Structure 1
Amino acid sequence: MNQGVVFKQQASPKGRDSWSLTSTSGAELLKHKNQAVRLVDLALWFGREVDVETLTPAVVGSATEPIDKLIAWFRHNFYPDRGDLIGTLYSTDVPDEYRSAPFADAAVDEGTYELLGSRPPAPVVNLSLEELVGALETTIGAGGYVLPAGLVRRVLVAWMRGDLVVLVGQPGTGKSLFANLLGRGMESVLDLAAPLVVPIRADFDEAEFIGYERLDGSPEYRDFARSILRTEEPLEARVVVLEEFNLAAIETYLSSVLVATQDQERLVRLPAGQEAQLPIDAFIIATCNSYRDEPETRARVSSPTKRRSTIITMSNVLGDRYDEDPANAVTDLATDLILAERKRIQNRADRSAGTQFDGLRLYNLNTVDSVDDFSDAVRTSLKDVTSAVLETPTGRSWFTMGLLRDVVLNIAHAPRSESAELEALGHSVADKILHQVRGSFSDVEAFRSAYANLPNAEEIDRLMERMMDGPSDELLSLL
C-alpha cells in the first residue's frame, strides 16, 4: 500500500527512521479485502496450543470464559489495537456456535493439522477471455498508455498455453511500462497479489534469482523463491516481470524454471537440497532489448529459451500513428503525453505521496492543456524535426513514444514564450534526439535542414559533423 495511505515514515534524530500505521489504515486495507477478519478466528488458530487455564490475570484481565481468555491472550501478544484496525479490518464479534463448542483438553494432533492445512480451492475467473481482455485494456488505457491492438490478448493466450512472454523492441516502445501496467491490471481486475518485479543485472545467476545455501547449511531464498516457488497459495495466479531479461545469459539464472515449464511435476530444485513446484499460473513476462542492436551489453537468447517463449516485437506506436496521419499524429500524441504526465503527478499529490519537486512539475505542466498552447514557431519546428526523422526507415525504428515524451515535456517545462520554447526544443535535439540518430549520411539530410532554424543549430551541427567524421558513409555514435 502507498506511503501516507496505510503507513507513514518519519525521520528520527538518531538517524533511524520510524514507521507507523496511519489512523485510517484499517479502512484503507478493508477496501482491498472487502470483509473484516474476526479476532476470534485469529486467536483460535494462533493460540491453538495455548492452555487458557494457565493464563494470568495480567494477560486475560476480567475475562472468565475460555474463548474470551483466548481472545485476550491474542490481543495481549499481537497488538491489533492500533489506529482504526478494530472495527474495520478486524471484527470483535464471536459467533454463538463458538461459545457453545467446548475447548479440547489436548492440543491438535498431526492428522488434524494436515486436514486444516489442505489447500483451499483456487478463485475462479468469472469472465470470458474476451471480457477479461476488455477489462485489462480499459485499465491499462486509463493511465494514458497507447495500447497496440491485440497485444493483451496475445499475452494472455501465451500464458494460458504455458509460455513465457518476451517483449522485444527499441528503447521507448513501452515494453517495461506495458509489462508493469498489465501486472497491475491483473492485480486490480482479478484481485491478485501485486506483480513481482525482478530487475535482471549483468551478473545474475541462479543464486541471485532463486537463492543459495549458507555456510551453516540453511537456505537463503531470493524474492522469486519466497513469493512464487514457496507461496502459500500455489493455485492462484501471479504475474512476474523480468526487467532487462537478457542483460545476463538467461540459462545462468533461469534454467531450472525453463526446465520446470516442460516437466510434468514442474519441480524446481531449491538451496539446501529442497524442492518446490513452479505454480502453473506463474505468469512470466520479460522485457528484452535485441542482441543485434546492442551486442556490447546484451546476451543472445538461446533456441531452448525461444522454444519455451512467445516473443512479441513491440511496434513503434509513434511510427504507426505517423503513417496513418502524418499531419497531426505528432501533435495529437504530444498532447496526450503531456496530459498523462500531469494526471500521473496529480494522482501522487491526491494520495499524499507527492515528492518535493512535484509542485514545481505541476505548476509548469498546468500552463499547457494541449500543444496548441505552444507557440506557432515551436509547433512547426517540432513537426519538421520529427517528420524528417520518421520519414526515413532507420529513423522510424528508433524514434519512439518514449523519446517524443521527453522532447515534449522539455518544451512544456519551458516558459510560455516563443524564444524559450524554441530553445528547449533545440536542447532536446542536441541532448536527446542526436544521440539516437543512426544510419547513413543520406538519412540525416532532411533532419539537418529541419533543425537549421533552431537557436542552437550551430551546436547541433558541430555534433553532427563529429558523427559524420568517419571513413565510411555510416554515422558514428557520439557516445
Structure 2
Amino acid sequence: MEGAHALTVVTLPALLREAKRQDVDPTIAQVPYGGGVEEQYLKDFFELPGAPDPHRPYRAIWSNDTPWQTRKFTGGGLQRQRGQRAGRGEVLVQRKPAQTGLSGDIWGLTPTAGADLLAETNKPVRLINLALWTGRDVDTSTIDAAILNAAGISPSADDIDKLDAWFKHEFRPDRGDLVGTIFWDDIPAEYRTVAFAADPVSDETYQQLGVLPPAPTVTDDLSTVIGALESQVAAKGFQLPPGLVGRVLAAWLRGDLVVLVGQPGTGKTLFASLLGGAMEQEFDLDAPLMIPVRADFDEAELIGYERLDGTVHLQDFAREILLDDVPLEARVVIFEEFNLASVETYLSAVLVATQQRERIVRLPNGEVASLPIDTFVIATCNSFRDEPETRTRVSSPTKRRSTTITMPNILGDRYENDPETAVAGVVKTLIDNERDHVEARESAGHASQFDSLRLTALRSVSDFGDFSAEAQHALVSVSNAVLETSSGRSWFTLGILRDVVMALVMSERDAQAELTAVGNAVADKIVHQLRGAHSDAQPLLAASAALPNAEEIGRLIDQTMSGPSDELLPLL
C-alpha cells in the first residue's frame, strides 16, 4: 500500500465502517462523521505498540516519507484534504449543521468517488491488502459462519478467503464505484502460497514495521552509573549526602518505591528533581513526571475517571506511564508530598502491580494497561510524627514495597562537626546557586519581570565576607543559637538558612540595613519554626538582643512558646 493516498487507506475505510455500523449507503445518504471517527479507526488498526516516537503513534503504511503520523493527523492534514475535496464536489459530500439542523457535520461519498480519487492519485489499493492489515489479529477459525455463508465461502476455504469475507462484512466497500476503481477486488496467486501464522502477530513482525525497538542497554557498571549521576547532581550546587544516590538506585533496581522523609528544607524535592533530571540527561529519557499530591488526591486524580457521558478522561500517569509507547525504557515519576493524602487511596493499584509478574493496572474504561518494569518512583514525605495535623500515616504494606530514606539535615551535621564554620562556610554556595538559577533564566530568554532586581542584589555580593561585619556576626549568632539545641539541629535546615541569607542579600549594602534584614528574617522565618522545650528558645532570644527589632522578636518568642511544649502535644 506504499504510495497510496491517505484518503484511500484511512478516510474511505473509516467512513465505510461508520456507514455500515449505521446501516446507511454513504453514496445515497450521509452519516455523522469527522476526525473522531478517523481517530478511532487509526487507534484500532494503525496505533502499534512501541512506536519510536510516542507523539507519532500511527504507522502510516501508505507513506515511506512519513512512516509515522501524529495524533493530530485527523484534525489537521486529513481534515483539510476532506474539506478541499468536498468543497470541489469531488469524492466526498459534506453537509454542515446550518444545512441539516444537526449538531455536527454529516458526510457521504459522491457516486464517482472512486474514479475521482483514482484520477488524482493513480494508486489503487487491493481490498485484500486492507483486509490483511486491519485483520492481522483476526483468528480466521472464529469468523462467524453466517459471514462466510453470505460470501459463499465454505468453512474449509483458505484462510485468506475467510479474511477477505470478514473484511467485506465489516467495511462494506461495494458502494458506488469504489470497487473496480480505487479498490481492486482480487487476490494475487502468490498471496495463497504463504500460510497464515497460527499465533497472533509477533514482536519480530512489529519490529520489522519499525516498532518495539530494543531498549538502550546500560553498558556501564553500577558504580560508574552512580558516580555519573552524583556528578550531575553535585554540579547543580546540591549538598549531596554521601551514598544517597547509590541507595536510591539500588532500591529502584530491586523494584522498590523510594520515599524521602525529612524536615522541610532538607532538599527532598530538590534532590528528587535533580536526580530525575540527571537520569534524563545520562540515559536520554523523557523528562520526569512530577505529580503533586493534595489532601483529596485519589485514584481518579492519578489514573483517570469515566465522565457522565461515558467517555474516559485519563490523567498524565495513565497516558505517559501506563500507556507509554516505549515501555522498555525507564521513566522517573516524582510524587511531591506523598502522604498529604492516604497513599492507598490513590496508589493502591500501582502498589499491587509492583508485586505482580504481569504488572497489570486496569483503566477506568476497563482497558488493561501494564506498569513498565523501569518505572522509577521517588516520593517526598514529611513525617506523620512531625506533622500529625496535615500528614497521613504510611501503612505497613506501603512500607513493605518502599525504601524509606531519611534525608539528613546537612546544616545540622555541619554544625556538629565544625560549629565555627558551619553557617559561614555555606553562604557562598547558597548565593552562587541562586545567582546561577536566575542567570540561567536570563540566558534562556525566560527572565521574569522582577529578575533584574534579583540579579542586581545577587551580583552585589559573592561571599560571606561581602556583608558588613555586624551582619556576619548577627547571622552566625542567631543561626548557631538555634543549631546548638538538639531540636534546632533537626529543623534548622539549609532551606531555611537560604531564605535568611536571601533576605540579607536583598537588603541595602550598609550595616544598619543588613542588621534590619537579619532581624526581620528572624521574626518572619525562624521564630515561627521554633519547636522543642521552652529552654530551646532562650539562646535565640539572647542572640537577637542586639538586632534592631529585638523587642519584636522577644514578643514573638513569648507568644510562640506560651503554650505547652512540643513534648506534651502527643499527650494532649
Partner deviation per Cα, 1:337-381 (whole Å, 9 max, x = no partner): 001100110011011111111111000110001010001111111
**1:414 corresponds to:** 507
1:109 aligned partner, one-letter code: W
Distance between the aligned counterparts of 1:453 and 1:431, measured in 2? Answer: 17
* Matched ranges for 1:187-226 at <5 A: 187-226=280-319
**1:284 corresponds to:** 377
Q: CA deviation at 1:470?
A: 3.5
SS in structure 1 of the partner of residue 361 of structure 2: strand
Larger deviation, residues 410-419 vs 466-475: 466-475
SS in structure 1 of the partner of residue 66 of structure 2: helix
The alignment status of 1:154 with 2:252, answered yes or no, reads no
* Matched ranges for 1:75-90 at <5 A: none
* Matched ranges for 1:110-125 at <5 A: 110=134, 114=201, 115-116=205-206, 118-125=211-218
2:329 aligned partner, one-letter code: E
Distance between the aligned counterparts of 1:394 and 1:471, measured in 2? Answer: 15
Q: Is the 8 A contact 2:527 2:560 kept in 1?
A: no
Structure 1 gap segments, 5+ residues each: 1-39, 49-54, 60-101
Which residue of 323, 329, 332 corresponds with 1:236? 329
Distance between the aligned counterparts of 1:473 and 1:237, measured in 2? Answer: 43
Distance between the aligned counterparts of 1:472 and 1:175, measured in 2? Answer: 27
Distance between the aligned counterparts of 1:166 and 1:348, measured in 2? Answer: 30
Distance between the aligned counterparts of 1:122 and 1:389, measured in 2? Answer: 51
Which residue of 518, 524, 530 corresponds with 1:437? 530
**1:43 corresponds to:** 66
Larger deviation, residues 440-449 vs 309-318: 440-449
**1:250 corresponds to:** 343
Q: Is the 8 A contact 1:200 1:245 kept in 2?
A: yes
Distance between the aligned counterparts of 1:139 and 1:318, measured in 2? Answer: 21
TM-score normalised by the chain length of structure 1: 0.77
Distance between the aligned counterparts of 2:310 and 2:440, measured in 1? Answer: 47
Q: Is the 8 A contact 2:303 2:314 kept in 1?
A: yes
Which residue of 344, 361, 368 corresponds with 1:268? 361
Distance between the aligned counterparts of 2:68 and 2:468, measured in 1? Answer: 68
Residues 300/334 of structure 1: CA separation in 2 closer, same or farther (3 Å cut) = same
Q: Is the 8 A contact 2:457 2:506 kept in 1?
A: yes
Distance between the aligned counterparts of 2:377 and 2:420, measured in 1? Answer: 39
Structure with higher RCO (Cα < 8 A, 6+ apart): 1
Q: CA deviation at 1:110?
A: 3.9
Identity %: 57
Count of aligned pairs between the two proteins: 391
Partner deviation per Cα, 1:66-114 (whole Å, 9 max, x = no partner): xxxxxxxxxxxxxxxxxxxxxxxxxxxxxxxxxxxx9975446247795
Residues 464/157 of structure 1: CA separation in 2 closer, same or farther (3 Å cut) = same
Distance between the aligned counterparts of 1:41 and 1:317, measured in 2? Answer: 57
Q: Is the 8 A contact 1:441 1:473 kept in 2?
A: no
Q: Is the 8 A contact 1:468 1:474 kept in 2?
A: no
* Matched ranges for 1:3-402 at <5 A: 41-46=64-69, 106-107=129-130, 109-110=133-134, 114=201, 115-116=205-206, 118-402=211-495
Q: CA deviation at 1:275?
A: 1.0
Residues 44/261 of structure 1: CA separation in 2 closer, same or farther (3 Å cut) = closer
The alignment status of 1:470 with 2:563, answered yes or no, reads yes
Q: CA deviation at 1:468?
A: 3.2
Distance between the aligned counterparts of 2:350 and 2:228, measured in 1? Answer: 30
Distance between the aligned counterparts of 1:240 and 1:319, measured in 2? Answer: 29
Distance between the aligned counterparts of 1:256 and 1:373, measured in 2? Answer: 54
Q: CA RMSD in A?
A: 2.6
Q: CA deviation at 1:406?
A: 0.2
2:434 aligned partner, one-letter code: E
Distance between the aligned counterparts of 2:221 and 2:423, measured in 1? Answer: 36
Residues 463/160 of structure 1: CA separation in 2 closer, same or farther (3 Å cut) = same
1:180 aligned partner, one-letter code: S
Q: CA deviation at 1:43?
A: 2.4
Q: CA deviation at 1:467?
A: 2.3
Q: CA deviation at 1:126?
A: 2.1
Distance between the aligned counterparts of 2:540 and 2:68, measured in 1? Answer: 70
Distance between the aligned counterparts of 1:402 and 1:475, measured in 2? Answer: 27
Q: CA deviation at 1:326?
A: 1.3
Q: Is the 8 A contact 2:279 2:285 kept in 1?
A: yes
Q: CA deviation at 1:475?
A: 9.9
Residues 383/472 of structure 1: CA separation in 2 closer, same or farther (3 Å cut) = closer
Q: Is the 8 A contact 2:528 2:560 kept in 1?
A: no
Residues 339/220 of structure 1: CA separation in 2 closer, same or farther (3 Å cut) = same
Residues 336/296 of structure 1: CA separation in 2 closer, same or farther (3 Å cut) = same
SS in structure 1 of the partner of residue 278 of structure 2: helix
**2:52 corresponds to:** none
Partner deviation per Cα, 1:397-428 (whole Å, 9 max, x = no partner): 00000000000010011111000000000000
Distance between the aligned counterparts of 1:255 and 1:120, measured in 2? Answer: 31
2:236 aligned partner, one-letter code: G
